[in-house]
Amino acid sequence: MSGRRTAEFLLRLDGLIFMAEEKRQRAKAAGAEVWLIASYDTLVRNLKVLRDTASQDKLPRQSRGETGPGAGLGISRAVGEWCEDDELLDKVRNVEDYFRQRF
């Protein structure tokens, strides 16, 4: 990834991680079910791994012929399985779309 694109992608990931952590804390404080808290935990853990991978320039990219056109990260699909929070889903799509369009 070029330096500027990588920095922007990491910034978007950081925003998503922050939002997911905040939503997890609010859900836990509100007495949400265990599966929802666990889903947030998994999301945050996976996003941090994704961030580390991206910061090391190890994400597969279309520009290097490692993925097909329009390939995404799969975050939208995974989070969409359990999340009903439009704000979080929009942030997820923002990260996923940036990856698809810029890399």
pLDDT of 94 above 80: yes
Q: Which of the four pLDDT bands, split at 50, 70 and 90, describes residue 1?
A: very low
Listed range (8-12, 29-33, 34-38, 98-102) with the worst mean pLDDT: 98-102
- How far apart are alpha carbons 7 and 1 in whole angstroms? 9
- How far apart are alpha carbons 39 and 61 in whole angstroms? 27
Determine the residue type at 19. Answer: M
| Percent of the chain's residues with pLDDT above 90 | 72
Rounded to two decimals, the pTM is 0.89
Structure confidence at residue 59 (pLDDT)? 82
**Alpha-carbon separation of residue 33 from 30, 42, 74, 86 (angstroms):** 9, 15, 24, 19
Residue with tokens 């997890």: 24
